[in-house]
Amino acid sequence: MIPLLPFGRERAVRFTDAAVISERLTESGAAKLEYIAAKSQPLFEMALSEVRAESFRMVAAANSAMQFSASDFPKGVIIIPLAGSTITRSNGTWIEWGRGQGALYLPPGGSRGESKARLAVAIDVEAGRLQDIARAMAGPDLEEDSPLDLEAPRALGLGRNGVDFECLFQQHFALVNAMGGDPASIERSGLDEMILRAMVMLLAPSLLFQAGSEGRNGVRARVSQICDYIDANLTRKITLTELEKLSGLSARSLQYSFQTVMGRTPTRWIIERRLEVVHQKLLSAQQGETVTSIAGLYFSNMGEFARMYKARYGELPSETIGR
């Protein structure tokens, strides 16, 4: 049995014939793809789910053991592993990657290889957009026009500078799933920008996690101050601008300080704290209190709240309050 997809399971496309999926995917895109079931496991199975937003496209894929080849890919791609392992050859280089090993960046062109049963999410790389984001995040002192190396294939470490990128991307995928893969919700919430920024940090950690003059203890103190402020204001709208003014940090420094200390962005932290508070209040709800009367203080969109709540706690808020 192949692993469960991290998002879009209800609308996933499933195949049990490697030749059929090879033909379908080649017909639907610019690239040529070929999949062959592994000799050790001739029963082939693959499930795919795609999400498109204005600024990115990503595909979750779960498959049984197989061999594969691809050619004529017009864009680069970052592949985040969630289960299993793969060996891939691109531009004359063999790269082993997978859960516990690292992610993979592939430039435009072709690749081939083989994998065990695996689960991974591939995110298209819009080179110009990512380079722009990298320049903005790095600040005015950056001298390079193209700070990201997008020419060569390489493995990407998922644990860098105290940041667990595997956990970070899993949280992003869970939010995509909680929003039903709806492009408008993804864009309104800023999740698309969060995913693109995480891709930049994964590609260039040395550029974006340079040690500041303040020191680790000073950064932790500022982040702790921000967290206290967030906890005291969870029932009102909290903007990044007010957090920047409160902490005295620039937009870039605020994001990276939070990522370094907390392993997530300020925006994600606010969502998680609101979910945690609502969860506790639902567990201790008094007679007459409802999900809406409790959660409505913290979330304006009850549909999105319910999806995020279930993604985090594995049940609907109505089930929690009903216990």
Q: How many Å is the maximal CA-CA distance in the chain? A: 67
Q: What span, in angstroms and rounded, lies between the C-alpha atoms of 226 and 50?
A: 36
Which H helix or E strand runs over 109? Answer: strand 109-115
| Amino acid symbol at 209 | F
Confidence at residue 212, expressed as pLDDT on a 0 to 100 scale = 47
Of the three residues 93, 128, 161, the one that is the final residue of a domain is: 161
Confidence at residue 281, expressed as pLDDT on a 0 to 100 scale = 93
Q: Does a structural domain hold residue 74? A: yes
User: In terms of domains, do 157 and 17 share one?
Assistant: yes
pLDDT at 22 over 70: yes
Tell me which DSSP letter residue 6 carries: S
Q: What is the pTM (predicted TM-score) of this model?
A: 0.67
Confidence at residue 205, expressed as pLDDT on a 0 to 100 scale = 79
Q: What span, in angstroms and rounded, lies between the C-alpha atoms of 209 and 48?
A: 34
Tokens of 168: 């970070």
pLDDT tens readout for residues 165-224: 999 999 999 999 999 999 988 887 888 888 998 998 899 876 655 544 455 567 788 888
Of the three residues 119, 145, 161, the one that is the final residue of a domain is: 161
For the chain, give me the number of helices (H) and strands (E)? 13, 14
Q: Does a structural domain hold residue 46? A: yes
Tokens of 169: 């991307």
Query: The domain containing residue 315 runs over which residues?
Result: 270-321
**Helices 266-283 and 216-232 meet at what angle, rounded to 10?**
50
For residue 120, the cross-strand partners are 61, 81
| Amino acid symbol at 130 | L
Q: Does a structural domain hold residue 59? A: yes
Residues 173, 175, 179, 184, CA torsion sign = negative
User: In terms of domains, do 150 and 285 share one?
Assistant: no
Q: What span, in angstroms and rounded, lies between the C-alpha atoms of 79 and 60?
A: 9
Q: Which residue, 247, 245, 165, is CA-closest to 208?
A: 165
User: In terms of domains, do 19 and 144 share one?
Assistant: yes
Report which of residues 147 and 125 the model is more confident about.
125
Which H helix or E strand runs over 52? Answer: strand 46-52
Q: Does a structural domain hold residue 129? A: yes
Terminal CA-CA length for the chain: 33
User: In terms of domains, do 34 and 156 share one?
Assistant: yes
Q: Which residue, 46, 111, 103, is CA-closest to 80?
A: 103
pLDDT tens readout for residues 142-158: 666 778 889 999 999 99
Confidence at residue 211, expressed as pLDDT on a 0 to 100 scale = 42
Domains in the chain: how many in total?
2
Q: Quick check: 119 and 5 in contact, CB under 8 A? A: yes
pLDDT at 132 over 60: yes
User: In terms of domains, do 18 and 147 share one?
Assistant: yes
Cβ neighbours for 18, distance < 8 A, ≥ 6 positions apart: 35, 36, 37, 44, 46, 66
**Model confidence at 133, in pLDDT bands (50, 70, 90)?**
confident
Q: Quick check: 16 and 53 in contact, CB under 8 A? A: no
H helix intervals, the chain: 18-28, 127-138, 165-178, 183-188, 191-203, 205-208, 216-232, 240-247, 251-262, 266-283, 291-295, 302-313, 317-321
Tokens of 108: 């435009």
pLDDT tens readout for residues 47-101: 999 999 888 899 999 999 999 999 988 899 999 999 999 999 999 999 999 998 8
Q: Does a structural domain hold residue 309? A: yes
User: In terms of domains, do 277 and 156 share one?
Assistant: no
Confidence at residue 244, expressed as pLDDT on a 0 to 100 scale = 79
Q: Using CB atoms within 10 Å of the CB of residue 272, give its burial: 0 to 12 exposed, 13 to 18 middle, 19+ buried.
A: middle
Tokens 């994001």 belong to residue: 255
Q: Does a structural domain hold residue 177? A: no
Confidence at residue 7, expressed as pLDDT on a 0 to 100 scale = 95
Q: Does a structural domain hold residue 228? A: no
Q: Does a structural domain hold residue 234? A: no
Average pLDDT over residues 244-266: 82
CATH number for 29: 2.60.120.10
Of the three residues 132, 161, 190, the one that is the final residue of a domain is: 161
Confidence at residue 213, expressed as pLDDT on a 0 to 100 scale = 46
Tokens 């430039």 belong to residue: 107
